[in-house]
Chains A and B, each alone.
Chain A
């Protein structure tokens, strides 16, 4: 390991030498005394990554004083439209990593910023200027930070840094700025609770930026769920199988997954697999974890569903000469599907909410976006927005579950619309013929719980 580290250093040193020689060859002999390391700007797009012009941000400029030089002042010049007027500047000088005290006078002048040090800054020091509250030109574009510096009374041009990419204002940001200037917004925010949990400006930006996270959540759970259903069915059948080994495997699988927190399973998968050199994309790994976790719960739901079918159904199937597999596929499972729909929907709601746990391992889902925004803004509003996004999905589903359960309970009690006596008799006769002949289609079987008056047996208790 040590040798590797050394060779690394050697390589880096060699590269630095080569770079220095190339630089010497290219640069004119009057080398710059102040080497510009870089100029950067803090992204100020709420919930985004862009540097927007016309909105306050922070410009950070760094330069290293070359050997034998003393710098007494620096003037940064930016393109017209830049505004330093309401900015404050923090001066820092560093010798290596050691912070040195440096004092100076900073004079903002429109698009330029004059810094005069009270004591000249000596060789080898890194000068850092952090200009908070400055704005870039509104039209956006690449901004080159140039200017001059004062070395022993003479002004010399600054070496231009790598340009900063800025963008023009976005409609969303304009809306936020508009809200910033409204009186009602100020009044609203002055109430501590409203300002902390329901700040309109942050509501607007968080709705826009949380949307992608919401889609990721939906994507993960919608892709994961079919796999979970298939896996769950397999393990449910294994658990009621006559083979002892299959049963044992299913029991271990279901109990381990249901008996440990999803959070733990996520950690094991996300940090464990890469250690075995299995590198999978975060989103796909998220889908895998969610599918495996849900499959255990679904297996129990399906098992309970299958076992709730009366024995008479098996006997009836047997009397018709059906084999075990045939009975399962044509008689038992179709009835099971109908019975487990409410419970499976509840489980789907759970799984959707549980995707939030994936934020802890860096999957860019809803909760993650909300957390980021909260840490940037120091405000709880993004969490409220996230709650709204979760509710958009879960509330209608909860309603669906309630409706189905009501219908089922109703039909169990013998409720629902009653046919007239004569019609009923005819229908009975029809039913007798039809049940012997055509079996109900899959669509009919699935939609049965949604239709009033269909005869369905009781639902399955929520096993979760």
Chain B
């Protein structure tokens, strides 16, 4: 028995090594001919421009300056996969899915590229901006993990100091989630001993710290890796409330009804807007994404995606 399992283990190990070697080869070859690929992409998209009205704009972008890409022909994305309905992993297959994933595919299509989502696309939300910022374009080729971060990320001045943000693609607000048997309000939560769970590095965290200073000073703002943890913790009474983006709260509580014991106590109007993070050193990519985004909004794809994931247009 033991020899069999050991042998299969060894086999598995060599298989893994093989796969990772392949991966390395693929990575090594990736940055080699970005310019070629972009030209290819543009000719392709001009070829079937009869079908797509927006292909012209893609072609013009490719002419003016070519966006540098980590993987040629692909728009490689990263996100934090615990933020449904924007991005999450399919329960069975582990495939990334959600509004942002679909949007990235639509944008990539308009750019004549393929959206590249893998299991490695999932990262901590707090590391997304540093990762995009650290892509190295100094050699004229992109060296890094991904081209863009699309993660329900609000456009803020602080983030704009680190990376470029695309044009806004969705309006959002914050929300206060409590248990249905709770009478907590935003006023009552700003007190010592209250525990408010937020996702680390989000505008929800920022809002909580700014607007609940008493709770914050007594270490009452609990920063967690993801919003699912926060809601589970609230559900199991570890925390008194959760502050997170309204669309996420709506999806979990009112559309999917995953948390019958939780309620959206108050929506918090903040009028924030989501954008896509791109490196400051790759302005051609930002421009191309903005154009593709405009096209996706103009051709009604955006509305379709909103209906698909939020049940209605936002």
Q: Can you report 22 A-B residue pairs in the complex whose CB atoms are below 8 A from each other? A: A4-B181, A38-B211, A42-B210, A49-B213, A49-B216, A97-B267, A126-B269, A128-B269, A128-B270, A271-B233, A274-B237, A274-B238, A275-B235, A279-B238, A360-B224, A374-B126, A374-B127, A375-B205, A375-B223, A376-B201, A378-B130, A378-B162
* Smallest Cβ-Cβ distance to A37: which chain B residue: B269
> A368 contacts the other chain (Cβ, under 8 Å)?
yes
Interface segment, A88-96, A203-211, A292-300, A407-415?
A: A88-96
CB distance from B239 to the nearest CB of A (A): 8
Are A94 and B269 CB-contacts (below 8 A) given A40-B211, A270-B238, A274-B236? yes
> A379 to B210, alpha carbons, bound, how many Å?
21
With a cutoff of 8 Å between Cβ atoms, the chain B residues found around residue A378 in the complex are 129-130, 133, 159, 162
> A141 contacts the other chain (Cβ, under 8 Å)?
no
With a cutoff of 8 Å between Cβ atoms, the chain A residues found around residue B217 in the complex are 49
Contact in complex: A41, B210 (CB < 8 Å): yes
> B41 contacts the other chain (Cβ, under 8 Å)?
no
CB distance from B231 to the nearest CB of A (A): 11
> A272 to B232, alpha carbons, bound, how many Å?
10
Q: Which A356-395 residues have a C-beta within 8 angstroms of B?
A: 360-362, 364, 368, 371-372, 374-376, 378-380
> A242 contacts the other chain (Cβ, under 8 Å)?
no
> A99 to B168, alpha carbons, bound, how many Å?
12
With a cutoff of 8 Å between Cβ atoms, the chain B residues found around residue A97 in the complex are 173, 246, 267, 269
> A375 to B134, alpha carbons, bound, how many Å?
15
Interface 1/0 per residue, A8-48 and B, CB below 8 Å = 10000000000000000000000000000010111100000
> A8 to B184, alpha carbons, bound, how many Å?
11
Contact in complex: B210, A40 (CB < 8 Å): yes
Are A271 and B271 CB-contacts (below 8 A) given A40-B210, A42-B206? no
* Smallest Cβ-Cβ distance to B223: which chain A residue: A372
CB distance from A104 to the nearest CB of B (A): 14
Contact in complex: B223, A371 (CB < 8 Å): yes
CB distance from A102 to the nearest CB of B (A): 10
Given contacts A43-B213, A274-B236, 13 further A-B contacts (CB under 8 A): A1-B180, A43-B216, A94-B269, A96-B269, A97-B267, A99-B271, A271-B232, A272-B236, A275-B236, A275-B237, A364-B219, A376-B201, A380-B130
> A400 contacts the other chain (Cβ, under 8 Å)?
no
Contact in complex: A375, B210 (CB < 8 Å): no
> A60 contacts the other chain (Cβ, under 8 Å)?
yes
Contact in complex: A128, B223 (CB < 8 Å): no
Interface 1/0 per residue, B208-249 and A, CB below 8 Å = 011101001101001111000100110111100000001000
Are A362 and B223 CB-contacts (below 8 A) given A1-B260, A99-B271, A279-B237? yes
> B114 contacts the other chain (Cβ, under 8 Å)?
no
Contact in complex: B130, A196 (CB < 8 Å): yes
> A165 to B233, alpha carbons, bound, how many Å?
31
With a cutoff of 8 Å between Cβ atoms, the chain A residues found around residue B157 in the complex are 58, 88, 90, 132-133
> A97 to B173, alpha carbons, bound, how many Å?
7
> A60 to B203, alpha carbons, bound, how many Å?
13
CB distance from A325 to the nearest CB of B (A): 40
Contact in complex: B171, A375 (CB < 8 Å): no
> B273 contacts the other chain (Cβ, under 8 Å)?
yes
Which of A128, A133, A277, A371 has the most C-beta atoms of chain B within 10 angstroms of its own C-beta? A371
> B263 contacts the other chain (Cβ, under 8 Å)?
yes
CB distance from B6 to the nearest CB of A (A): 19
> A311 contacts the other chain (Cβ, under 8 Å)?
no
* Smallest Cβ-Cβ distance to A374: which chain B residue: B126
Q: A128 contacts which of B210, B216, B222, B271 (Cβ < 8 Å)?
A: B271
Interface 1/0 per residue, B109-150 and A, CB below 8 Å = 000000000000000011101100110100000000000000
> A5 contacts the other chain (Cβ, under 8 Å)?
yes
CB distance from B196 to the nearest CB of A (A): 11
> A390 to B293, alpha carbons, bound, how many Å?
46
With a cutoff of 8 Å between Cβ atoms, the chain A residues found around residue B205 in the complex are 375
Q: Which A84-141 residues have a C-beta within 8 angstroms of B?
A: 88, 90, 92-94, 96-99, 126, 128, 132-133
Interface 1/0 per residue, A42-64 and B, CB below 8 Å = 11000001000000001010000
Which of A49, A88, A196, A368 has the most C-beta atoms of chain B within 10 angstroms of its own C-beta? A49
> B183 contacts the other chain (Cβ, under 8 Å)?
yes
* Smallest Cβ-Cβ distance to B239: which chain A residue: A362
> A40 to B210, alpha carbons, bound, how many Å?
6
> B70 contacts the other chain (Cβ, under 8 Å)?
no
With a cutoff of 8 Å between Cβ atoms, the chain B residues found around residue A126 in the complex are 269
* Smallest Cβ-Cβ distance to A126: which chain B residue: B269
> B200 contacts the other chain (Cβ, under 8 Å)?
yes
Q: A42 contacts which of B136, B209, B233, B246 (Cβ < 8 Å)?
A: B209
With a cutoff of 8 Å between Cβ atoms, the chain A residues found around residue B133 in the complex are 378
> B197 contacts the other chain (Cβ, under 8 Å)?
yes
> A441 contacts the other chain (Cβ, under 8 Å)?
no
> A192 contacts the other chain (Cβ, under 8 Å)?
yes
> A360 to B270, alpha carbons, bound, how many Å?
28
With a cutoff of 8 Å between Cβ atoms, the chain A residues found around residue B238 in the complex are 270-271, 274, 279, 361-362
CB distance from B296 to the nearest CB of A (A): 19
Are A362 and B271 CB-contacts (below 8 A) given A192-B134, A196-B130, A378-B162? no
> A339 to B19, alpha carbons, bound, how many Å?
45
With a cutoff of 8 Å between Cβ atoms, the chain A residues found around residue B171 in the complex are 98-99
Q: A8 contacts which of B129, B173, B183, B224 (Cβ < 8 Å)?
A: B183
Contact in complex: A379, B130 (CB < 8 Å): yes
With a cutoff of 8 Å between Cβ atoms, the chain A residues found around residue B180 in the complex are 1, 4-5
> A380 to B134, alpha carbons, bound, how many Å?
11
CB distance from A248 to the nearest CB of B (A): 24
With a cutoff of 8 Å between Cβ atoms, the chain A residues found around residue B181 in the complex are 4
CB distance from A151 to the nearest CB of B (A): 22
> A41 to B232, alpha carbons, bound, how many Å?
30
With a cutoff of 8 Å between Cβ atoms, the chain A residues found around residue B271 in the complex are 92-94, 99, 128
Contact in complex: B209, A49 (CB < 8 Å): yes
With a cutoff of 8 Å between Cβ atoms, the chain A residues found around residue B222 in the complex are 362
Q: Which B256-311 residues have a C-beta within 8 angstroms of A?
A: 260, 263, 267, 269-271, 273
> A42 to B222, alpha carbons, bound, how many Å?
17
> A192 to B130, alpha carbons, bound, how many Å?
12
Contact in complex: B213, A368 (CB < 8 Å): no
* Smallest Cβ-Cβ distance to A41: which chain B residue: B210
